Structure 1
Amino acid sequence: MSITLPGPTLGVVGGGQLGRMMAEAVSPLGVEVVVLDPTPDCPAAPVVRDQIVADFDDADGINELASRVDALTFEIELADPDLLAEAAAEHDVPVQPDPDTLRTIQDKLVQKEALAAAGIPVPEFVAVATAEGLERVVEEFGGVMLKAREGGYDGRGNVPVDDPEDAATALDGVGGNAMAEEFLDFEREIAVMGLKGVNGETRTYPVTETIHREEILRESVAPARADATVIEEATSVARDVLEFLDGRGVYGIELFETGDGEVLVNEIAPRPHNSGHWTIEGARTSQFENHARAVLGWPLGPTDLVAPAVTANILGDVEETQPATLRGVDDVVAAADADLHWYGKDDARPLRKMGHLTVTDRDNGADTDGDTNGEVDRDALLSRARALRDGLTFRDS
């Protein structure tokens, strides 16, 4: 393939913060982006070539997007795989990752069944559709994480159930068609941003530790504070996942490290993921740039660590929806070791992701193998990121 500049135009279904950061990442490469999103003036709108205002399952909108671009991708699982495949075929443009992969991942039960059939380690799980069935599973497992099969994200659609008497209420809360997963007493949650390019090439970013509260990712630490055996096993499992999935691009592979050092797959996102935002400052090539490179069929960029990094999410700390005005920004902007990312959302809602900041340790960079040079106090980096983040607020006083 011969690359010339100005580059091609990339079509993205979804214009949220991931679409915004993707457009920011590829602009220096001469790649323009057109997004499709139902929200007028979506977060990506200020930095993309154009926005098509349409629902994610709007056939006319998807067709218009396909007619205007050289390649298609998506930054949200609500994209319709059938419409993507049909539009790509009609307009002779590639769509990556493969719509069949999106179809498998959209349903958490189908995803887990496919992973288990491929021999990839996952927690115990079972389909549940009735309160009686859930009661039996809760008694058998001694507690479960109940997950809506479709549509859940950022903790939505996930309900812990440890009492059989709560089964009916929990099942109603997730829509009545769900998957129950054994409730793990895990050591930590970790993630690997995996990457698939042309001719089956695969790469992985360093294993990342992810810290959640109320089922929402609060901070990520790269590299993870796990021992070498766990790091090796997590990377191996991630590579097995990449071999199993079809289609080019970045995959966010969320994992559990159990108390005995076993690594199990939690969930997979066929797109850039919050767990990999640290790569913007902490890796040679960000997950967003590499996703676009892969989708376009370009050579992949290096995934090596350049500096240990901790990312802290900036969430809506309000009781009810209000216009988004972030206060206390001065200290973050003045910090030599921090980088701020604002997502451009008009309204702050309780626990809504509004931005993030990343603190990097540039004094302890990484060698070509991604190993840190010298001892890096990731606990101190995490405390620093939390302190800067906690100084930010959307409250009036």
Structure 2
Amino acid sequence: MKRVGVIGGGQLAWMMGGAAKKLGVELIIQTPSNQDPAVSIAQDNVLAAVDDAQATKLLAAKSDVITFENEFVNLEALSLLAKQGICFRPRLEALSPLLDKYHQRCYLRDLGLPVPQFFAVEPKENLTSKIADLGFPLVLKSRRHGYDGQGTFIIHDLETLQQKLAMNQTIPTASQSLFLVEEFVPFERELAVIAARSVEGEVVIYPVVETQQEQQVCRRVIAPADITPHQAAETEAIAHTLLNSLQAVGVFGIELFLTPAGKVLVNEIAPRTHNSGHFSLDACETSQFEQHLRAVCGLPLGNPQLQCATAVMINLLGYENSHSDYQDKRQKLAQIPQAHVHWYNKSQSRPGRKLGHVTVLLENHNPALAAEIAHSVESIWY
């Protein structure tokens, strides 16, 4: 039996549980709390912060290979373990250019992939001339540790930008954020694609999806996205180029913008399974979680294609501070035809926290019906 160590114990690791059973894989989890979702599906766990390299050494002693549920790790410390022969998949060199969003932007640009205009914010730099090239509004992003909209700010004028940067300067140096500035892309819609690459270099790509965000947090995913064959091919080519350049092993999520002119731009890369791929648990022969385990274990990759005409995935986000398990609402959601409810068993709800998701499968491609179903789910939940 292959033993896979997973750094991180949230819902992304928890959703590997079913695939691990199917493949005969044993999961060992490194996570800071025994209340985290993945603890319940692991044969063993190491209770320590995900950036604790000493804990990862313990994890390695129990594992054949180590993978990542999230990217908030200490690469420098892990590289010392890699030199001792510990196997990480994806390899650390594939993560290195992606964890800092400015470095990620530079890497994508240097590969020739389409990205928004951007620049790094240097300490005490006069930004006036650089901003003149972009204009307002613009996007200010923390270079590290941002997710679900955290660390991302839409800025509408120079005064607000200066205030934001000045506030950052007032906190202790160790806690200050490094920032980059990007042009604001007035996109027609947001897209995403899940891609996986095997040890042998085979790449498989899931259908391109549309993601719908509110307050920069994903609310809904529609699979497949209503885009042209050329735009789908362009997106797939981006995924091939990126994963092959990184020599990645495992699943990566790629977020994109589709501009009103029909141009595809890369927004961000997640070097792991991704919220935009949750539909695959119910709608595809091989889920993104099974695909990731197949890749990191050196198994043949599975079929990523949809087994239905359309899938609608709706995140169940916290809207209050509570310890409820919302059993009544979940039962109502489960009564929707072809609905599959996934509950992450988190002990605490708070506004914006991802508590679960619902995927509804449709036999026909009907965007209006997909929107209606999403509204029905949200009217029950919220």
TM-score class, shorter-chain normalisation, is over 0.9
Query: Quick check: 94-103 or 339-348, which moved more?
Result: 94-103
For structure 1, list consecutive stretches of 5 or more residues without a partner in the other structure: 1-6, 365-375
Residue 383 (str. 1) matches residue 372 (str. 2) = yes
Checking the alignment, whether the CA contact within 8 Å between 2:201 and 2:247 is kept in structure 1 is no
Q: Which runs of 4+ in 1 moved over 6 A?
A: none
Q: Does 1:19 align with 2:21?
A: no
Counterpart CA distance in 1 for 2:324 and 2:105 is: 38
Cross-structure match for 2:73: 79
SS at match of 2:381: coil
Q: CA deviation at 1:11?
A: 0.3
Q: Contact 1:171/1:177 (CA < 8 Å) preserved in 2?
A: no
User: Who is 2:323 aligned against?
Assistant: 323
What's the secondary structure of 1:328's corresponding residue?
A: helix
TM-score by length of 1: 0.90
Partner Cα distance (1:389, 1:159) in 2: 26
Q: State the match for 2:209 in structure 1.
A: 208
Task: Report whether the alignment pairs 1:40 with 2:34.
Answer: yes
After TM superposition, give the deviation of residue 382 of structure 1 in Å. 3.0
Offset at residue 50 of structure 1 (A): 1.8
In 2, the alpha carbon distance for the partners of 1:224 and 1:131 equals 43
2:97 corresponds to 1:110: no
Write the distance in 1 (CA, Å) between the matches of 2:57 and 2:166.
36
TM-score after normalising by structure 2: 0.93
**Aligned residues: CA RMSD:** 1.7
Deviation at 1:173, TM superposition (A): 6.2
Q: How does 1:227-238 map to 2 (within 5 A)?
A: 227-238=228-239
- In the alignment, the residues of structure 1 paired with residue 357 and residue 366 of structure 2 have an alpha-carbon distance, to the nearest angstrom, of 21
Distance 1:188 1:224 in 2: 10
Is the aligned partner of 1:286 residue 2:305?
Answer: no
Contact persistence 2:143–2:177 (CA under 8 A): no
Alignment of 1:244-259 (within 5 A): 244-259=245-260
CA distance in 1, matches of 2:97, 2:157: 31
Within 5 Å, give how 1:1-397 maps onto structure 2.
7-90=1-84, 92-130=85-123, 133-143=126-136, 144-172=138-166, 175-307=176-308, 308-318=310-320, 321-326=321-326, 327-361=328-362, 363-364=363-364, 376-393=365-382
State which drifts further: 20-29 or 200-209: 20-29
Contact 1:13–1:76, Cα closer than 8 Å, also in 2: yes
User: How far 1:137 sits from its partner (Å)?
Assistant: 3.7
Is the contact between residue 17 and residue 41 of structure 2 (CA under 8 Å) also seen in structure 1?
yes
Taking the aligned partners of 1:220 and 1:316, their CA distance within structure 2 comes to: 18
Q: Distance in 2 between matches of 1:169 and 1:216?
A: 24
Deviations 1:369-393 (A, max 9, x none): xxxxxxx103312321331233125
CA contact (8 A) 1:312 1:386 kept: no
Q: Which moved more, 1:123-132 or 1:185-194?
A: 123-132
Q: Which runs of 5+ in 2 are unaligned?
A: 169-175
Is contact 1:12–1:34 with CA below 8 Å preserved after alignment? yes
Task: Provide, for residues 173-221 of structure 1, a one-character-per-residue CA deviation record: whole Å limited to 9, x for no partner.
Answer: 6645211010011111101101110221111101011111111011011
**Contact 1:135–1:165 (CA<8 Å) still a contact in 2?**
no
Instruction: Give the aligned residue type for 1:114.
Output: Y
Partner Cα distance (2:177, 2:208) in 1: 35
Aligned counterpart, 1:369: none
Judged with a 3 Å threshold, the aligned counterparts in structure 2 of structure 1 residues 277 and 133 are, in CA distance, closer, same or farther, namely farther
Once the 2 structures are TM-superposed, how far is the Cα of residue 131 of structure 1 from its aligned partner?
Answer: 6.6
The alpha-carbon deviation at position 338 of structure 1 amounts to 0.5
Contact in 2 for aligned 1:10/1:34 (Cα 8 Å):
yes
Query: Paired residues, what number?
Result: 372
Please list the CA deviations of residues 295-319 of structure 1 after superposition, one character each: whole Å capped at 9, or x if unmatched: 111110111111120100000111x
Alpha-carbon distance between aligned partners in 1 of 2:186 and 2:254, rounded to the nearest angstrom: 19
Q: Mean alpha-carbon deviation: is it higher for 159-168 or for 268-277?
A: 159-168
Secondary structure, counterpart of 2:50 in structure 1 = coil
Structure 1 pair 264–208 and aligned structure 2 pair: CA distance change class (3 A): same
Q: Distance in 2 between matches of 1:176 and 1:21?
A: 31
Alpha-carbon offset, residue 135 of structure 1: 4.5
Q: Residue 226 of structure 1: CA displacement?
A: 1.6
**3-state SS of 1:348 partner:** coil
Distance 2:70 2:166 in 1: 25
Q: Distance in 2 between matches of 1:134 and 1:171?
A: 11
Deviation at 1:161, TM superposition (A): 0.8
What CA distance in whole angstroms lies between the structure 2 residues aligned with 1:263 and 1:235? 11
Counterpart-to-counterpart distance in 2, 1:139 and 1:45: 50
